[in-house]
Amino acid sequence: MNRPLVAILSGAGISTDSGIPDYRGPDGLWRKDPEAEKLVTYEYYMSDPQIRRRAWLMRRESGALRAEPNAAHRAVAELERSGVPVRVITQNVDGLHQLAGMPARKVLELHGTARTVECTRCHARTPMDDALSRVDAGEDDPACLTCGGILKPATVMFGEHLDPVVLGEAAAITKACQVFIAVGSSLQVQPAAGLAGVAADHGARLIIVNAEPTPYDEIADEVVREPIGTALPELLGQLSKTHLQAPW
């Protein structure tokens, strides 16, 4: 018997209750502030040490690594623990799904993770916490301890390509799932947005949970406008019950 599969595409809206603002979306902070956008644009970051120093200070000040998962992240992890096969595809780089208890192998991070830094020369990966400790200790642009290369967060900066392996896995999950829930995403940033259409094309039940209208509302089977922190736990609770009562 084919196991039912729930795919959850999460965007910035799932993490706002955790105190993380929307940086990257079409109306995100970075897009509205060209100077801030330079800090996360690969070309500027690599060519200008001053940009890197400001970027390290921004990371240190932002406190994003201290954010805690909220009720919506926990509800996703609980659904997985209840025995429903769940995969998360996220546009977020905050790692909060995993902190809430989702196994890392079941979370696809389309834009990478801000919890890890990567050397742009030798590609060694180390915890962001370690790099920030070096900034705290007085290094204004900590270099790779292995090769001396420039360090950057393991996120996909503007001007960088998404990982084709991650994208391929996201597409495969989207085509295979029976329920596709887009939560907290404006569905305006590709390729994440297109996944909602792919899911519907392949016969999945498409559910959109977002405060604002999205371009995919018209083809969705269900659109939920309630606050994510209460709406998602309720929705996933129902899914879990349905799963236990009847074979899908």
* Smallest distance, Zn ion to C-beta of residue 146, A: 4
* Smallest distance, Zn ion to C-beta of residue 122, A: 3
Shorter beta-carbon distance to Zn ion: residue 147 or 219 = 147
* Smallest distance, Zn ion to C-beta of residue 42, A: 17
8 Å CB contact between 182 and 214: yes
**Binding footprint of Zn ion on the chain (CB under 5 A):** 119, 121-122, 124, 144, 146-147, 149
- Quick check: is 123 catalytic? no
Shorter beta-carbon distance to Zn ion: residue 144 or 156 = 144
Distance CA 67, CA 17 (A): 10
Distance CA 127, CA 136 (A): 15
Spatial strand order in the sheet of 151-155 = 125-127, 112-119, 151-155
**For residue 89, is it left (φ>0), alpha (ψ between -120 and 50) or beta?**
beta
Shorter beta-carbon distance to Zn ion: residue 26 or 148 = 148
Shorter beta-carbon distance to Zn ion: residue 99 or 135 = 135
Catalytic residue among 97, 111, 123, 161: 111
Distance CA 125, CA 115 (A): 10
Q: Which residues pair with 109 in a beta bridge?
A: 90
* Smallest distance, Zn ion to C-beta of residue 120, A: 8
Distance CA 214, CA 128 (A): 33
User: Which residues participate in catalysis according to the annotation?
Assistant: 111
